[in-house]
Chain A
């Protein structure tokens, strides 16, 4: 079944690694966990098992963040992942859920229209009318299912939900129980149940968490990659993975092109050049790592289908301009300034400069 889907779930894509880890893992596992906390950390950060098996890193970044996340889940606390868009919040949450409970699909997507039903439970109204309230008429939410099975429930974009819906989590997180007053019963969470929520702390139009809810989460702020090398590594790794799932033929590595895109993004994001000599204006877009990945991926598609299969400056130029220039007036000025003052001065970037000039 995984053959046909566009994007397999983490637990399917990395089923081999998970199975191997589970097999080799001799450390104590918390109740309800598929792996020991130590093995979960290895799964996320990558590493080599004692018998020489190599586990690919899923998250490239500070080790302590992942350790704190795993320790949080191990103490049955809820975990809140904060960060600007494109810092792999969802990615981390999916892989954590896959590693801890082998199931990353118990997912609630938070939007402004999310209702309490999606967090607690809904009803099958036909049955409800026909039979009255009964266990069969109840439609459990992903959270309720996670409670029943002792798994990790994921909530995406928690802060986009209306505040009252957010607060319906409070009882679930503190009492680890979900009352169903219509049936006079309740669902008590089994061991292993916990919640991983992600939230974006820079967006507008979000509903801040109430302090009652907030204190039931341990918070981890996922940072943007610290160094150019780290970011290049992340981008290259992800681009290769996406390329595999899109069944793109191998393009020539293009690591130089990746480094260039990452450098451009980092410089514009931080508002100064890599050598720290020149101040730059920052565009309105976030220019996160995720956007760098998509620029490179689309560049690869261009190179494969319309070019000679080698990732060339012209292939990424269009994507970069599109990512940087979000606001047609102010961002265009930012980009042109950058092009003329920074890109042009770098002799080894002359082909890139020409390509960007053509696009603009």
Chain B
């Protein structure tokens, strides 16, 4: 043995993630040129530490230890490293010099075995719950020497935090109120000078002697860790290394040094004692790997005190070769300029001056983050908080995301994702960015599927954009941002399957099995389809069908229908098979039709309006679906409803209109309530009978314009008259009108008789009723397009002058000229097979558009007349 132990071992007490520590450490290691480096961290990682030298490894990264087959207590722990972490610099130095690196902290196997005392361990099934499952993760870093991030304002355990924070006491002794700042001043902001390690070690020794006793479980844990550290050092000594560098948290320095003293003091820890401490510790099987980390995650900002508040700032301090303040403000100015905020060099100069003046005023050796932030706010941001937020986010915390090389051990799921990402040329980044996908391109379709599957796994790498539907069904907008905790989620999801697709399927099935409500299930179904999880779909659909059967709330059913129909109708854009969905939709339609009548009675205005929206949605969804049987059933339901007594005016008016538009409101004429349930049958007959099959004939327009509207108006006219007659209250009548006319006033332009009815009704209102109804009318008419209103006004004006019928007879149509247009329109609308009611109505409007435009009356004359 060449030299005594204490001469062969140098212990460097550092502060985790301290740039000043890192800088000093690099210099010290270059001087010492150790032949082995021991670093605080889980020793299981010894095997993969070599990866740190890989050019593909870009900090911030973290060592992730996760329990293999851990059953219930599936937890994980992290040891994050940034570029400016002393540990990272030590590792890189050792790898560069070609000397071994060993981790000397308590093995993760023991650490994670203790995990059950963290009560907030997340179950793997609950999916997106980042905060709780992050809590235990960073526990290993939550060491007292980590820096006093737990300020005294942290609530109930603030007192404990203060006791656990030795730096706070040192800072207090130095007259600082903020320990972070004190450490920054004495260690991190030092440019040069002698290495502070000896002084730090002495200070810690003094502190350890005098600090109040921390809680018992904390003491126990610390004891084990330090025993293990000593054991690692002893082993390195035994292995014959001559210059051993130990890099650990400053707090532990005296504990390790105690084992090396030249003359053993009686109380010093012995190898045998340490072995006793470490004997029989519980252990679990763990696997370790590197995962990318991010500065956002490193920062205390994201939720807990284990990290540093300002990784971006520290990175800058570490990376800037000189004049850190000037460089910082220049970078801040650049960020602000990118956001189009005018910042001149004069601003930067003044900011630097102010920061320096503040530092002098506060008696600090160099402007720190507090001074720099104050100066940024006062000068560069001109007092505005918003740009400062931006700076905090982009610069002080930073958006840097690390990367790990390909050779890194991964769970199969991670590897699959990585392969997929490579195949789709789709790389994660921490900065949020927008992505437009065109689902007609195979690669985009696959990307979309991948994102949807990941969402099912609780990895919201992409958030779907809001404007998706407006752009057409083949477009999707996503906002992408990769967060490091996603890797954890992937590791946790490893149990679900080996590939992203399998895992997502399994997870969807599990979710379907335990889903509580119908809406959850429809949402799940809507997620499954775009994720192309054909295997999971039957299970989801079965659950959906069961749930729909049990759900008594028709509103839920109605709410679920449009989304399902949408996916059903457009599923083929994605090439998804949606047969199972059809069965569910079939069931839903039936249930809605059965349940609706009970829902419509006794509604107040708000409820009626809500129901109106649902009815419209379902109606629209069924039109989209284009299933004759469902449409007939729906119309039948509406027909039975329409004559119910006690129906809210809004609903009644709307139902009338829907049936009218569908061409199903036949001779309700003089016999109110006489057409229950049968309406659909004759309607179907009608459709067959005068379908405009011979569209080339030229007479079509005539027969359509002449006969049908009259028959409609016959039925509708009576209803209208009844709805607005003197027996009903004005409010009810107005609501009826609103419901009836909502969604377009064209019917008033084209159905002269209807217009006359409305006109006559308004004209006949007694003055006080008119005053009451007027706002409601205005509201209805206000929703119409200006040309519609003008056209209505003109129509009304002509009621008084032209005698007799005003409709088709009032205009002489040139059928020769109209025929080609009509033919084209019919062709566009689906030819002879189209829905008979709609083409005819449209062609009618085409015919009459000319006289409508001819008028120059600007106002809605109707009110003027009354």
Chain A residues with a Cβ under 8 A of chain B: 37-38, 41, 64, 67-68, 70-72, 74-75, 77, 80, 82, 211, 214-215, 217-221
Contacts and interface: CB of A to CB of B under 8 A. Distances in A.
A72 B383 contact: no
Nearest to B381: A219
Contact of A74 (B346, B347, B357): B357
Contacts of A82: 383
Given A64-B374, A71-B358, A77-B354, A215 B383 contact: no
A80 B384 CA distance: 12
A43 B775 CA distance: 64
Contact of B361 (A71, A80, A215, A219): A71
Looking at B370, B383, B384, B385, the one whose CB has the most chain A CB atoms below 10 A away is: B383
Given A67-B362, A77-B350, A80-B383, A218 B357 contact: no
B375 to A, nearest CB: 8
B350 A68 contact: no
B184 to A, nearest CB: 16
A72 B344 CA distance: 18
A71 B354 contact: yes
Interface in B496-529: none
Contacts of B354: 68, 71-72, 75, 77, 218
Given A68-B378, A218-B350, A75 B383 contact: no
A38 B358 CA distance: 10
Interface residues of B, number: 23
Q: Which of A38, A72, A80 has the most CB of B within 10 A?
A: A72
A216 to B, nearest CB: 9
Contacts, number: 59
A219 B383 contact: yes
Given A64-B374, A75-B350, A218-B378, 19 more contacts: A41-B361, A67-B361, A68-B378, A70-B361, A71-B354, A71-B358, A71-B360, A71-B361, A77-B353, A80-B383, A82-B383, A215-B347, A215-B382, A218-B350, A218-B354, A219-B379, A219-B382, A219-B383, A220-B378
B465 interface: no
A217 to B, nearest CB: 8
Interface of B: 342, 344, 346-347, 350, 353-354, 357-358, 360-362, 370, 374-375, 377-379, 381-385
Contacts of A68: 354, 358, 374-375, 377-378
A38 B382 CA distance: 24
Contacts of A77: 350, 353-354
Q: Which of B346, B350, B378, B381 has the most CB of A within 10 A?
A: B378
Contacts of A221: 383-385
B358 A215 contact: no
Contacts of B379: 218-219
19 contacts: A37-B357, A37-B360, A64-B370, A67-B361, A68-B358, A68-B377, A68-B378, A70-B361, A71-B354, A71-B360, A71-B361, A75-B353, A77-B353, A214-B382, A219-B377, A219-B381, A219-B382, A220-B378, A221-B383
Given A64-B370, A77-B350, A72 B382 contact: no
Nearest to B385: A221
B586 to A, nearest CB: 45
A220 B383 contact: yes
In this complex, the member of B357, B360, B370 whose beta carbon has the largest number of chain A beta carbons within 10 angstroms is B357
A203 to B, nearest CB: 16
Given A215-B347, A218-B350, A74 B361 contact: yes
Contacts of A211: 342
Nearest to B378: A218
A37, A68, A74 pick with most chain B CB within 10 angstroms? A68
A80 B378 CA distance: 9
A215 B384 CA distance: 13
A75 B367 CA distance: 15
A67 B374 contact: yes
Nearest to B343: A215
Nearest to A201: B383
A72 B362 CA distance: 13
Describe A's contact surface by its main secondary structure: helix
Nearest to B359: A71
A215 B378 contact: no
A37 B362 CA distance: 10
A80 B377 CA distance: 12
Contacts of B377: 68, 219
Contacts of B383: 80, 82, 219-221
A38 B383 CA distance: 23
Given A41-B361, A67-B362, A219 B378 contact: yes
B634 to A, nearest CB: 41
A77 B378 CA distance: 11
Contacts of A80: 383
Nearest to A222: B383
A38 B378 contact: no
Contacts of A217: 382
B344 A215 contact: yes
A152 to B, nearest CB: 16
Q: Which of A82, A215, A218 has the most CB of B within 10 A?
A: A218
Nearest to A70: B361
Contacts of A41: 361
Nearest to B363: A38
Contacts of A218: 350, 354, 378-379
A38 B357 CA distance: 11
A64 B375 CA distance: 11
B357 A75 contact: yes
A215 B347 CA distance: 7
B361 A37 contact: yes
Given A75-B353, A77-B354, A38 B361 contact: yes
Contacts of B353: 75, 77
A215 B383 CA distance: 11
A214 B218 CA distance: 54
Contacts of B357: 37, 71-72, 74-75
Contacts of A38: 361
A302 to B, nearest CB: 39
A75 B355 CA distance: 10
B362 A215 contact: no
A218 B350 CA distance: 9
A75 B358 CA distance: 10
A82 B378 CA distance: 11
A220 B381 CA distance: 10
A211 B381 CA distance: 12
- Top 10 A-B residue pairs of the complex, sorted by shortest distance between their CB atoms: A219-B383, A71-B357, A218-B378, A71-B358, A221-B383, A219-B382, A75-B353, A68-B374, A75-B357, A37-B361
A218 B353 CA distance: 11
A67 B377 CA distance: 13
A218 B358 CA distance: 13
A321 B538 CA distance: 65
Contacts of A67: 358, 361-362, 374
Nearest to B342: A211
B28 to A, nearest CB: 35
A74 B361 CA distance: 9
A121 B385 CA distance: 37
Nearest to A72: B354
B387 to A, nearest CB: 12
Contacts of B361: 37-38, 41, 67, 70-71, 74
A82 B377 CA distance: 13
Contacts of A214: 382
A257 B385 CA distance: 34
A70 B359 CA distance: 12
B152 to A, nearest CB: 15
A283 B375 CA distance: 35
A328 B747 CA distance: 47
Tell which of B346, B375, B379 has the most Cβ of chain A within 10 Å: B379
A72 B378 CA distance: 9
Nearest to B353: A75
A74 B359 CA distance: 12
A59 to B, nearest CB: 16
